[in-house]
Structure 1
Amino acid sequence: MDRLTALQVFRRVAERGSFADAGRSLGLSPAAISKNIAELEAHVGARLIHRTTRRMALTEEGRLYLEHVTRALDALAEADTALCPIKAAPSGLLKVSAPMTVTLTRLSSAIPAFLERHPGLRLDLQLDDRRVDIVREGFDLAIRGSDRLEDSSLVARPLATMPHVLCAAPAYFARRGRPAVPADLNALDCVRFSLSGHADVWEFHQGGRTERVAVDARYSVSSSLAVRDALRAGFGVSLIPRPYVEDDLRTGRLQAALEDWRTVETTLYAVYPSRHYVAPKLRALLDFLVEAFEEQG
Structure 2
Amino acid sequence: MDTLLSLRVFCAVAELKSFTAAAERLGLSPAMASKHVMHLENRLGTRLLNRTSRHVSVTETGTLYFNQVWQMLDGLDEVEAAVSNVTVTPRGTLKLSVPVWIANTLIARMIAEYHLRYPEVCLDMDFSGRIVNLVDEGFDLALRATAPEKLDPGLIARPLTKIIFHLVGSPAYLARTGRPTKVADLNGHSLLLYSGMNANGSLTIDGPEGQETLKFQPVMRSENETMLHMAALEDMGLVFLPALMIQPDIAEGRLERVLPNTLSFSSTLYAVYPSRKYLSAKVRTFIDFISSQPGLCPAIENEQ
Q: If the length of structure 2 is used for normalisation, what is the TM-score? A: 0.63
Which residue in 1 is equivalent to 2:260?
259
CA spacing shift, 1:118–1:260, aligned 2, 3 Å: closer
- Percent of aligned pairs with the same amino acid: 31
Q: Distance in 1 between matches of 2:102 and 2:116?
A: 22
CA spacing shift, 1:82–1:186, aligned 2, 3 Å: closer
Q: Distance in 1 between matches of 2:262 and 2:122?
A: 45
Structure 1: which 5+ residue stretches go unaligned?
1-75
Q: Deviations over 1:138-180 (max 9, x none)?
A: 1111011114442512111112212221121122111111223
Which residue in 2 is equivalent to 1:117?
117
Q: Distance in 1 between matches of 2:90 and 2:84?
A: 11
1:179 maps onto 2:180 in alignment: yes
Q: Distance in 2 between matches of 1:201 and 1:137?
A: 35
- Cα shift at 1:212: 2.8
Which residue in 2 is equivalent to 1:281?
282
Q: Deviations over 1:6-32 (max 9, x none)?
A: xxxxxxxxxxxxxxxxxxxxxxxxxxx
Q: Deviations over 1:60-106 (max 9, x none)?
A: xxxxxxxxxxxxxxxx9xx9489969853222222111112213354
Q: Distance in 2 between matches of 1:116 and 1:260?
A: 40
Q: Distance in 2 between matches of 1:126 and 1:269?
A: 16
The DSSP-based 3-state class of the residue aligned with 2:235 is coil
- Cα shift at 1:122: 2.5
Amino acid at match of 1:193: Y
Q: Distance in 1 between matches of 2:209 and 2:147?
A: 19
Q: If the length of structure 1 is used for normalisation, what is the TM-score? A: 0.65
1:130 maps onto 2:130 in alignment: yes
Q: Deviations over 1:159-204 (max 9, x none)?
A: 221222112112211111122333332322111122x356654343
Describe how 1:235-250 pairs up with structure 2 within 5 A.
235-250=236-251
Amino acid at match of 1:95: K
Q: Deviations over 1:19-68 (max 9, x none)?
A: xxxxxxxxxxxxxxxxxxxxxxxxxxxxxxxxxxxxxxxxxxxxxxxxxx
The DSSP-based 3-state class of the residue aligned with 1:129 is coil
CA spacing shift, 1:107–1:260, aligned 2, 3 Å: closer
The DSSP-based 3-state class of the residue aligned with 2:230 is helix
Larger mean CA deviation between 212-221 and 133-142 belongs to 212-221
Q: Is the 8 A contact 1:227 1:238 kept in 2?
A: yes
Which residue in 2 is equivalent to 1:90?
90
Q: Is the 8 A contact 1:182 1:212 kept in 2?
A: no
CA spacing shift, 1:184–1:86, aligned 2, 3 Å: farther
- Cα shift at 1:130: 0.7
